[in-house]
Amino acid sequence: MTRILLVDDDTELTALLQEYLSDEGFGVATNTDGRAAVAAAVASSVDLIVLDIMMPAMNGIEVLQRIRRQSQVPVLMLTARGDDIDRIAGLNLGADDYVPKPCSTGELAARVRAILRRSGQPAGTAELAPIRAGRLVLDPGNRTAEWDGHLLDLTGTEFSLLEVLARKAGQLVSKQDISKQAFGKPLTPYDRRIDVHISSVRHKLGLRQDGQSRIQAVRGQGYQLLLD
């Protein structure tokens, strides 16, 4: 089993990512101290490190510097959204990739798999398993979606949202679960991002034969993807 170490002081996000990656077939450990990442890299006890930049005591850039002095273990950096300075610094120091926070679990898993494939490591038991929901087929590894054999033009966020619904097609998914799994953060009051992205995905999926949307809202609860 591929071993991943998540290093981040955001314990809520880390717990969410750990649960998702474990379900995807990875062995996942967590820590809030960057020094643990250095120790794991030196001991060759993990196959990939997911490392947050903004941490107390020792930030991610310093941790990455120390890792690269002694190990070439793949490192995926978590950066503040829009912070190009940290992103460039991390890549220049030898980070394999980066994901801006808050991130969706699906996007992070796809980036992890891509890095592992490049490094010749196993990329999880669910890597090649497509998600099928009626005429909808999603490829989590390549983050592509097809409807009735035609490629859907989805943004990364739209794919993450549709993946959450497709995995539980025909079932109600709460807004809180959608927010955590698609956006990587709990739902907050007055947050309308889910509704905005749902509207766009609905348009791209088109209508059912009965004229209804393929994504139905249950007022005050969440959404469900309807099968034809």
Q: Locate the domains of the chain by residue range.
A: 3-118, 131-225
Query: What pLDDT is attached to residue 103?
Result: 79
The whole-chain average pLDDT of the chain stands at 86
Query: What pLDDT is attached to residue 202?
Result: 94
The CA distance from 190 to 37, in Å, is 37
- pLDDT (average), residues 17-36: 88
Query: What pLDDT is attached to residue 54?
Result: 86
The CA distance from 56 to 71, in Å, is 23
Query: What pLDDT is attached to residue 165?
Result: 94
> Which comes out higher in pLDDT, residue 199 or 155?
199
Residues 118-161: tens digit of each pLDDT: 876 655 544 457 889 999 999 887 788 999 999 999 888 888 89
Q: What's the pTM?
A: 0.65
What is the three-class DSSP state of 207?
Answer: strand
Query: What pLDDT is attached to residue 82?
Result: 62
- pLDDT (average), residues 166-195: 86
Query: What pLDDT is attached to residue 47?
Result: 92
CA atoms 60, 65, 68, 71: torsion sign: negative
Query: What pLDDT is attached to residue 73?
Result: 92
The CA distance from 152 to 204, in Å, is 7
Give Cα separations from 96 to 41, 68, 90, 118 (angstroms). Answer: 14, 11, 9, 10
- pLDDT (average), residues 42-56: 89
pLDDT over 90 at 16, yes or no: no
- pLDDT band, residue 38 (cuts 50/70/90): very high
Task: Indicate the class that CATH gives domain 131-225.
Answer: mainly alpha
> Which comes out higher in pLDDT, residue 216 or 125?
216
- Do 131-225 and 3-118 have the same topology in CATH? no
The superfamily in CATH containing domain 3-118 is Response regulator (3.40.50.2300)
